[in-house]
Structure 1
Amino acid sequence: MLLRIHHAAIICSDYERSKRFYTEVLGLRVVAEHLRAERQSWKLDLALPDGAQIELFSFPNPPPRPSRPEAQGLRHLAFAVLDVAHCKRALEAQGVVVEDIRVDEYTGRRFTFFADPDGLPLELYEAAPAT
């Protein structure tokens, strides 16, 4: 069912410092950068050599991670799948609570979230069709 990791999302405390680190120190290529003005938030998509991505987010005064999804640190782990709806049904059949399917406003791809037994947020992200 799972194909590969699609992206890891990280919320940083200082956007410019983290952007420099990931692009200049680690050498990741910028795929897209969006200012989400209504949230006072930047979203920076960075490419890893194997095609996986890092999503770097900023939010005003993010608290340290213990509880909120919009806190500093790892936001979620995403897995690329061929059919989000099929995978959602398969997880639910095993008693896993899965959120409603949504559509990524930038890519048009479908995705949904669920949690591991410790509450780590996990995402199923629909892969682009093979060409």
Structure 2
Amino acid sequence: MEIMGIHHIAIICSDYEKSKHFYVNILGCQVIHEHYREERQSYKCDLRLGESDQIELFSFPSPPGRLTHPEACGLRHLAFKVKDINQAKLELEEADIEVESIRKDPITGKLFTFFQDPDHLPLELYEI
């Protein structure tokens, strides 16, 4: 098997409009396609992130809760590449998003920080 990369990341949200606003208006994702699936009472919104990455944003009625602490078993977090971490942190804070202090990766020497989406999914900014 030859895996060529990651096609998309799927996120199920509890408040579709709130999460769509967060990913589009705050993080700057572009809507590729949005569709309401009547039979599932669910939205599916394909979002472009950067040049080729994609997030699928889903809504379902009453989704079960999930542990979101970064050290919980399962997906740890989703990390976004940024050129200027200080500017990105400032933009999030101006949008009333709480952002942790910027830290330095002891292995790579790169700067990073964490914040959360509206459902407390841990997200990371990683300066390249």
Deviations 1:69-88 (A, max 9, x none): xxxxx7xxxxxxxxxxxxxx
Long gaps (5+) in structure 2: 68-74, 76-128
Q: Shift of the alpha carbon at 1:65?
A: 2.8
Q: Shift of the alpha carbon at 1:19?
A: 0.2
Higher relative contact order (CA 8 A, sep 6+): 1
- Amino acid of the structure 2 residue aligned with 1:13: S
Normalised by the length of structure 2, the TM-score is 0.50
Q: Shift of the alpha carbon at 1:48?
A: 1.2
1:34 aligns with 2:35: yes
CA distance in 1, matches of 2:5, 2:43: 26
Give the fraction of aligned pairs with identical amino acids, expressed as a percent: 61
Q: Shift of the alpha carbon at 1:60?
A: 0.4
Aligned pair count reads 67
**SS at 1:4 equivalent:** coil
The answer for the alignment partner of 1:2 in structure 2 is: 3
**SS at 2:7 equivalent:** strand
CA RMSD of aligned residues (A): 1.3
Normalised by the length of structure 1, the TM-score is 0.49
- Amino acid of the structure 1 residue aligned with 2:12: I
CA distance in 2, matches of 1:35, 1:26: 22
- Amino acid of the structure 2 residue aligned with 1:8: I
The answer for the alignment partner of 1:51 in structure 2 is: 52
Long gaps (5+) in structure 1: 67-73, 75-131
1:13 aligns with 2:14: yes
CA distance in 2, matches of 1:48, 1:19: 13
